[in-house]
Amino acid sequence: MNSGWKITKEGKEPNLDNPIFIEGLPGIGNVGKIATDFLIEEFKAKKLYSFFSYKFPHSVFVNEENLVEMPKIEIYYKKFNGKNGKNKKRDLLLLTGDIQPIDEESCYTFCEEVLKIVQHHKCSEMITTGGIGLQQVPDHPKVYCTSNDKKLYEDYVKKDVLIEKDIFGTVGPIVGASGVLLGLGKMHKVKGVSLLAETFGHPMYLGIKGAKEILRAIEKRFNYGINLEKMSKEIIEVEKELMKKTKEWATEITSSTQAGAKGKDEETSYIG
Amino acid sequence: MNSGWKITKEGKEPNLDNPIFIEGLPGIGNVGKIATDFLIEEFKAKKLYSFFSYKFPHSVFVNEENLVEMPKIEIYYKKFNGKNGKNKKRDLLLLTGDIQPIDEESCYTFCEEVLKIVQHHKCSEMITTGGIGLQQVPDHPKVYCTSNDKKLYEDYVKKDVLIEKDIFGTVGPIVGASGVLLGLGKMHKVKGVSLLAETFGHPMYLGIKGAKEILRAIEKRFNYGINLEKMSKEIIEVEKELMKKTKEWATEITSSTQAGAKGKDEETSYIG
Amino acid sequence: MNSGWKITKEGKEPNLDNPIFIEGLPGIGNVGKIATDFLIEEFKAKKLYSFFSYKFPHSVFVNEENLVEMPKIEIYYKKFNGKNGKNKKRDLLLLTGDIQPIDEESCYTFCEEVLKIVQHHKCSEMITTGGIGLQQVPDHPKVYCTSNDKKLYEDYVKKDVLIEKDIFGTVGPIVGASGVLLGLGKMHKVKGVSLLAETFGHPMYLGIKGAKEILRAIEKRFNYGINLEKMSKEIIEVEKELMKKTKEWATEITSSTQAGAKGKDEETSYIG
Amino acid sequence: MNSGWKITKEGKEPNLDNPIFIEGLPGIGNVGKIATDFLIEEFKAKKLYSFFSYKFPHSVFVNEENLVEMPKIEIYYKKFNGKNGKNKKRDLLLLTGDIQPIDEESCYTFCEEVLKIVQHHKCSEMITTGGIGLQQVPDHPKVYCTSNDKKLYEDYVKKDVLIEKDIFGTVGPIVGASGVLLGLGKMHKVKGVSLLAETFGHPMYLGIKGAKEILRAIEKRFNYGINLEKMSKEIIEVEKELMKKTKEWATEITSSTQAGAKGKDEETSYIG
């Protein structure tokens, strides 16, 4: 645990074929997490790595079985069967989790570990995802793109009319793993883009619409056959339930809490 | 002092028989600490380990003898004489203290050290204790249970009607050693439960009623012959005095204080 | 990366002739950064070292090409051709950047690394630059001087009537690399002065006037032929654009931000 | 610099005769610092050790010569000539400084280093000094005593009627080096007391009266011939000037400051 990160591998390592890496950790509107979790669910992706660090929040969560769970950061993979055919899909590595690394240094050391995995599996392309917090709910959230590589950036904005070309001047710094993976990626010659969807910057807002637009852009480029129709009203209810855990971690991290547990007197419901 | 923790052993190590480990560090309502300190007092448990760390508050307390004391975290043990008989009681390891580890990392490294001790003494069962902070004083505080092991959890809620079965949805994350001991315990295959009693979330409230309910649940399961009647009005006065130290550490940690001492112009009395 | 700093050298190391080292990292009014960036621009100085640390802000910036950039701290050099002649100019090492080291310890370790470079290139004189924050815009900003060496200090205030002699009682502690480079410099026997210009202490104020006065003092002492007339209204507009990045890093560091990006709903314009 | 502390010895080490160690770092009312600085001044004590750490404030101070100074923590010594005679005085080691160690861990590592020095010089008795912050100016500040050794405590309160016997219940935790030196001292079998004088808890108050009472208690026990009459109105003016530096460090540490210097628009005068 030299870098401060303990990484546990689950089962045998798959032999992935030209995989794409997609990151979707919690953040503004949880846009990236919603998109990535949806892909994991849809493609029945399998867990491959779990991350743990002493810089995690020092608390546990009670799950539906009344058992404790530590916060999770995990990488899943999806191996598609198609080989060399016209409709062949590129395999996937998917990073999701309940939390973001807690501070500057642990964000950097975490992203270094992730990049080692990305390079180990010979991913030639990373997609990090996230939200752009607006001060009101966007009717039709736009998706913006930035990259650590000029050619890759042009590829994304050329091929796919669904992505806004000009992000400069539109957003401030990109905070967290979505930004740092690209920054450190450049140092390690791992190319990647960040797809950022507009969303409402309110802490209780679930950016499902924005997540849908990110998935639409990914679908347009890679033809995975993502069923975007599923991202309807029904999923919103499911997501609201699932996201409670993520929200509670976020609250716990930002407020200095006394040891013990807080009773849920007031229901904290998501808007979305 | 590699992990940041210096552990001092007092006297010869006892040969404990199938011991139970109970944790009761300060927290909401100090429910867990009150319960554990009561057991130490009642069973005349002996001090076995003292913990010290440079991450402790950088201050000392003046005790009744007008002498300085550093903050303490200690493990006591109780060896019962009964052998193989019908009424045989399982031995006890009891963790108490004036403070909680100060931050995320020191909480994790502390719990790792505690788990080593728990494993060294072949404890097959841990009980961590704490409070669930409500926004009013509960008349009849309920005790909730969560665990890092499904079978153990079912054992607790089946056998003992005094424990609420459903905690999911009732509490937010369990912060501090009570939660992390279970979380890390699962990684190290040490089974445990957390018994959490409802209490008033006010910083000056002493959760004696909640502590009593936790002890009642422990008594129901293990038949230690705990004299719950002693937890009466009288003990409340004693506890109020004893808890002042704990309260002052808590205050000192949360407020950034100038070097020196603060005069006690205003008496800070506990409610309870 | 033992000290926490990774230093990358660009190209072949120049053989500098009796160089002066000038520091101009962000700070009050960005006075020092504006002055130093102007010298880099004017003299077409070349990049020599880049600094990186895991204690940098964990975020990236989107540049004019819509590509991500990590925060930068860099040293440039200028080799003048003149040799031994009457008009010979001393070579320059120029330290600039988007950010200051994030905390006490990283400021000290950073300055130690910079001092190694300063000594490696046999700089006999360091100039650190910065602002003195006033509560109103100064009409004619004065430049004050302090030093880690009595003789060097007297040299500066004797030769150059543009510099105020008495700084004691005028300013509080000098915070950041401008101060620490002199403090640690004294320990390592590297002589230096700090030139501090009065400026408006408002976070959105660009201390261009103050920067001009610092450059005037440097010009007076070293006769570099700095074209101070260029520091006119026109440059103000350019600077305002360039400084946005610096300002955004500063904002990002001081506010605890959720992962993701913030939309620029409100234009944040500089005064100056 | 393993412990994070760099200690520089000045000149040859004196052979001290049964020395007393007195600590007086900044704190509430700066009571301890004023008392200790007075002894250094009066006895013309010589500097023996300087302390430095990367956890010092990352800033420098401009002194009366217009030169920069880093914050200082220093130990002075006083060797008295008297040998074996009736009026023989015990030698002194005196710890003073501009700042306190910045956080929990650096306070502990600092005190460990100080205790090594105390043991190296075979000091059999430590006196730490400080203030007890009241909510109003005390007319006749009382001096309280606590200790890490029962016998030493009794010795102080028996022999010297000027010291209050009962401190328990009067003060909260003793924060900073004054407390931790006693706490760690006990672990290392170094006996010591803390003399704490009542003072006004206001950040701009200079606790000269309290300092005088501490010196009176020291004089009573050790008969150094301290000239308490000098602690008059006149010294107050000198102290006010000298203490400005201490106050500015304190301000700088507690407020998050932008790099650069702050102009002194408003005079910050001490009350006292």
Handedness of CA D127, D132, D136, D141 (dihedral sign): negative
At D249, list the tokens. 């460090």
> What is the per-residue DSSP string for B77-123?
EE-----SSTT----EEEEEES---SSHHHHHHHHHHHHHHHHHTT-
pLDDT at B259: 80
Mean pLDDT calculated for residue range B18-34: 95
Selection from B231, B219, B216 nearest residue B89 by Cα: B219
- Say yes or no for a CB contact (<8 Å) between D28 and B58: no
**A265 to chain B, minimum CA–CA distance in Å?**
7
- Say yes or no for a CB contact (<8 Å) between C264 and A26: no
CB D100 within 8 A of CB D176: yes
A261 touches chain B (CB under 8 A): yes
pLDDT at A87: 60
Residues 178-197 of B with CB under 8 A from A: 178-180, 182-184, 186-187, 194, 196
- Say yes or no for a CB contact (<8 Å) between B264 and D171: yes
B120 touches chain D (CB under 8 A): no
How far apart, in whole angstroms, are the C-alpha atoms of residue A244 and residue B8?
42
A51 touches chain B (CB under 8 A): no
**Percent of chain B at pLDDT exceeding 90:** 65
Answer whether residue C252 shows pLDDT above 70. Answer: no
In three-state secondary structure terms, C92 is strand
- Say yes or no for a CB contact (<8 Å) between C67 and A198: no
**Which residue from A103, A135, A183 is facing C265, i.e. has the nearest CB?**
A135
Tell me whether residue C140 is exposed, middle or buried, using C-beta atoms within 10 angstroms of its C-beta: 0 to 12, 13 to 18, 19 or more: exposed
Q: What is the pTM of this model?
A: 0.89
Average pLDDT of chain D is 87
Q: Look at A11-15, B97-101, C262-266 and tell me which has the smallest mean pLDDT.
A: C262-266
- Say yes or no for a CB contact (<8 Å) between A56 and B104: yes
Answer whether residue B266 shows pLDDT above 60. Answer: no
**Percent of chain D at pLDDT exceeding 90:** 65
Q: Look at B258-272, C50-64, C150-164 and tell me which has the smallest mean pLDDT.
A: B258-272
Mean pLDDT calculated for residue range D206-219: 93
pLDDT greater at residue D88 or residue C182: C182
Average pLDDT of chain C is 87
Tell me whether residue C132 is exposed, middle or buried, using C-beta atoms within 10 angstroms of its C-beta: 0 to 12, 13 to 18, 19 or more: buried
**Which residue from B100, B165, B171 is facing A261, i.e. has the nearest CB?**
B171
Answer whether residue D212 shows pLDDT above 60. Answer: yes
pLDDT at D161: 66
**Which residue from D58, D251, D259 is facing C130, i.e. has the nearest CB?**
D259
Mean pLDDT calculated for residue range B216-222: 93
* pLDDT tens, residue order, chain A (272 aa): 457 999 999 989 999 999 999 999 999 999 999 999 999 999 999 999 999 999 898 999 999 999 999 999 999 999 997 555 556 899 999 999 999 987 889 999 999 999 999 999 999 999 999 999 998 899 899 999 999 999 999 999 986 668 888 888 888 889 999 999 999 999 999 999 999 999 998 887 889 999 999 999 999 999 999 988 887 666 666 666 666 666 666 665 555 467 888 776 544 556 66
pLDDT at B226: 92
At D259, list the tokens. 């790099």
- Say yes or no for a CB contact (<8 Å) between B196 and A261: yes
Mean pLDDT calculated for residue range D73-95: 84
Mean pLDDT calculated for residue range C227-233: 78
pLDDT at A242: 64
At A67, list the tokens. 């058992």
A253 touches chain B (CB under 8 A): no
Answer whether residue B107 shows pLDDT above 60. Answer: yes
Average pLDDT of chain B is 87
Per-residue pLDDT reduced to its tens digit, D130-142: 999 998 899 899 9
Answer whether residue B56 shows pLDDT above 70. Answer: yes
Subunits in contact with chain B (3 or more CB pairs closer than 8 Å): A, D
pLDDT at B218: 95
Q: Name the residue with tokens 């905070």.
A: A175
**C10 to chain D, minimum CA–CA distance in Å?**
28
Per-residue pLDDT reduced to its tens digit, C17-46: 999 999 999 999 999 999 999 999 999 999
Choosing among C174, C178, C181, C254, which should be mutated to test the D contact, i.e. which has the most D CBs within 10 A? Answer: C174
How far apart, in whole angstroms, are the C-alpha atoms of residue C246 and residue C66?
17
What single letter denotes the amino acid at residue C128? T
B260 touches chain D (CB under 8 A): yes
Answer whether residue B248 shows pLDDT above 60. Answer: yes
Close Cβ partners of A179 (under 8 Å, ≥ 6 residues apart): A128, A173, A194, C58, C59, C60, C68, C261
Buried b / exposed e across D75-102, counting CB within 10 Å, b at 16+? bbbbebeeeeeeeebbbbbbbbbbbbbb
Selection from D51, D22, D5 nearest residue D118 by Cα: D22
